[in-house]
Amino acid sequence: TALASVDAEKMLELLGMPTIPIMPGAVSGADVRRIVAAIRRGSSLNVSLDGPIGPYRRAALGIVRIAQITGAPLIPIGFSQSMRFHLNTWDRLLVPLPFQRMIYFCGEPLFVAPHSKAADLEDARSEIERRLSQATDLADAAVARRFA
């Protein structure tokens, strides 16, 4: 998992999930090389597409470039919970309450061709953003129907 929060890193390590710490707004070439190497070793990368500094629900181009380099698919996963609240932050961080039910929706994987041009990368960025929003909206609607 690539992340920018020390607290999140500690929490994920307690759960046995390896992390690659990333500083907000400052993804370096070394960071990208570490991420690419981890994916090539068979690791999955779980990342919030809008990154650590936003804007909300706007996918960053970096993850599309990593998919282009590695050939790994981008798989949008949206989720929602029956009892939760949102923090008043730029990303409207969802905080699940204990012992709640959660629904996940996985969208179609998106592959990025290795020889994509800049316009193709932007199209892929826009498409994965759309697919992630769709999966999240479907999960929210399913929770509202099932647990309301």
Distance, CA of 6 to CA of 111 (rounded, Å)? 31
Angle at 110 between CA 94 and CA 73, to 5 degrees: 85
Cis check for the bond before 114: say yes or no (omega within 30 of 0): no
In this prediction, residue 71 carries a pLDDT of 93
Burial track 54-65 (b if 16+ CB lie within 10 A, e otherwise):
eeeeebbebbbb
pTM of the complete model: 0.77
Q: What percent of the chain has pLDDT over 70?
A: 74
The one-letter code for the residue type at 82 is S
pLDDT digits (tens, 9 = 90+) for 5-55: 445 566 667 666 677 766 666 667 888 888 889 889 888 877 776 655 667
pLDDT digits (tens, 9 = 90+) for 71-112: 999 988 888 888 777 777 766 666 777 888 888 888 999 999
Distance, CA of 94 to CA of 42 (rounded, Å)? 29
81: left (phi over 0), alpha (psi -120 to 50) or beta: beta
pLDDT digits (tens, 9 = 90+) for 114-134: 999 999 999 999 999 999 899
